[in-house]
Amino acid sequence: MSDVDMHPASGSDSAAGSRSSADAAVAVPLPAASTAPVPTAPVADAAVRLGVPLRWAPPALSPVLLERPFTGPAAPVTHLGSVDVILEVIDDARSGDVLVIDNGGRPDESCIGDLIVAEAAHAGIAGIVLWGLHRDTAELRRIGLPVHSLGALPAGPRRVPPAGSAMRVASIDGVLLHGGEIVVADDDGVLFLPADRADEVLAEARRIQAVESRQAELMRGGRSLREQLDFAAYRAAQRADPALTLRAYLAARGAAVET
């Protein structure tokens, strides 16, 4: 519902008695700060609303386990053909970090399996984003650490890795990710937020989520979304002014819809 969720417009001086029923329907308190993962949909809406650059992993990257959302600072690494560089990053990571592995999207090898995923879980890693393939799928599901990857392949790397220290950066289909940038992932996909704006975006996303949850609650109670949006009155006004949009109609009454 995030394309139509509505909230009171900031700075509105409309009297309470003149507000439409749609305004009253979404007069919900702001949610308290939370460390729980925020769904990617309201995060995307919040970023657009705040003018924050939004980057994402391609839709081909999918979760091995459903309903395992996670959010945390990126701990990126470029895979060079051996697990030693991945273990280095896990060793240096903080609890709650997200391990982001760049294997170039290669279709000819898997670069992590059950041992690396179990080790990441032991280190307190919140989740793994892999631009490449994994293996040991059944074991990964048993371990329970959320992993987003391009799929599974039984064959591991057969190339000889170059010597050198771990490259602490990852390119996810051309999206360059540095350490500390924020990763937000769920069943809809993976988003990347700049570290200096992430708190602002996540706070706005929680507010959007609270509005949507209230709308859904009202719908379960029998109050349609059109009723909440005062849609019949909007259609009547639109007949008089065909150029009128729902966004402009609601804004004139002290409310707005999200992008």
User: For residues 148 and 166, is the Cβ–Cβ distance under 8 A?
Assistant: no
Per the rule left: phi > 0, alpha: psi between -120 and 50, beta: everything else, 222 is: left
Judge whether residue 111 has pLDDT over 80.
yes
How high is the pLDDT of residue 125? 98
**Is 114 marked as a binding-site residue?**
yes
Looking at the 3D structure of the chain, how many domains does it have? 2
pLDDT (0 to 100) of residue 257: 58
Asked, for residue 9, whether it belongs to a domain, the answer is no
Average pLDDT of 98-104? Answer: 97
Predicted pLDDT of residue 29: 40
| The residue to which tokens 């749609």 are assigned | 22
- Give yes or no: residues 119 and 224 share one domain: no
Look at residue 160 in the predicted model and tell me its pLDDT.
79
pLDDT over threshold 70, residue 24: no
pLDDT tens, position by position, 159-195? 877 766 779 999 999 999 999 999 999 999 999 999 9
Pairing of strands 98-102, 147-149: unpaired
Residues 67 and 189 in one domain: yes
| Mean pLDDT of the 222-235 span | 92
Q: Is 179 annotated among the ligand-binding residues?
A: no
What is the reported pLDDT for 164?
Answer: 67
* CATH assignment of the domain containing 174: 3.50.30.40
Query: What CA–CA distance (Å, rounded) separates 8 from 250?
Result: 9
User: What confidence category does residue 1 fall into, taking pLDDT thresholds of 50, 70 and 90?
Assistant: very low
User: Which is nearest to 90 in space by CA: 78, 107, 77, 80?
Assistant: 77
Percentage above 90 pLDDT, the chain: 71
- Is residue 15 included in any domain, yes or no? no
| Low-confidence winner among 12-16, 84-88, 208-212 (lowest mean pLDDT) | 12-16
Distance CA 231, CA 223 (A): 12
User: Which is higher by pLDDT, 113 or 252?
Assistant: 113
pLDDT given for residue 165 in this prediction: 72
Q: Is residue 29 part of a domain?
A: no
The answer to whether 136 is a known ligand-binding residue is yes
23 vs 120, residue with greater confidence: 120
Residue 250 predicted with pLDDT over 80: yes
Our CA angle for 58, 179, 205, nearest 5°, is: 60
- Residue 40 in domain: no
Range of the domain at 241: 202-252
How far is CA 7 from its chain centroid? 21
The pLDDT of residue 169 is 96
The answer to whether 230 is a known ligand-binding residue is no
**Claim to verify: residue 227 and residue 188 sit in the same structural domain:** no
Looking at the fold, whether 71 and 173 belong to one and the same domain comes out as: yes
Average pLDDT of the residues in 72-93: 94
Report whether 96 belongs to an annotated binding site.
Answer: no
The pLDDT of residue 118 is above 60: yes
Tell me, yes or no, whether 209 and 184 share the same domain. no
**Same domain? 175 vs 207:** no
Last residue of a domain, one of 148, 177, 194: 194
Is 197 part of any known ligand binding site?
Answer: no
Element (H, E) at 191: strand 189-193
pLDDT at 25 over 90: no
pLDDT, residue 8, reads 40
pLDDT of res. 35: 57
**How is 59-94 classified by DSSP, letter by letter?**
TT-EESSSS--EEEEEEEEE--SSTHHHHHHHHHPP
Tell me whether residue 209 is in a domain: yes
**Contact indicator for 27, 232 with CB cutoff of 8 Å:** no
